[in-house]
């Protein structure tokens, strides 16, 4: 029973973490896309996109 409770807690926390990461990724991707549109860029700056993913997954 105790093992099941601990496993349930781990699954819940994992779900929260994944949800948080997807929310952050969506937020930052939206910022990058908005910036690209405001600057009239026809193509996304791949370096900015790389920095975005680096920030998301390393913070």
Q: Where are the chain's structural domains?
A: 20-59
Model pTM? 0.51
**Rounded CA separation 16/8 (Å):** 12
Predicted local confidence at residue 14, as pLDDT: 92
pLDDT of amino acid 16 = 92
pLDDT of residue 44: 62
Question: Tens digits of per-residue pLDDT, 3-55?
Answer: 777 888 889 999 999 999 888 888 888 887 777 777 766 566 677 777 777 77
- Residue 42 DSSP label: S
Dist. CA 19–CA 34, nearest whole Å: 22
DSSP state of 1: -
The whole-angstrom separation of Cα 34 and Cα 38 is: 6
């Amino acid at each position: 029973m105790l093992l099941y409770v601990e496993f349930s807690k781990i699954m819940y926390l994992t779900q929260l973490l994944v949800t948080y990461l997807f929310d952050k990724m969506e937020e930052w991707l939206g910022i990058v896309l908005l910036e690209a549109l405001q600057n009239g860029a026809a193509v996304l700056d791949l370096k900015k996109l790389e920095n975005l993913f680096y920030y998301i997954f390393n913070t």
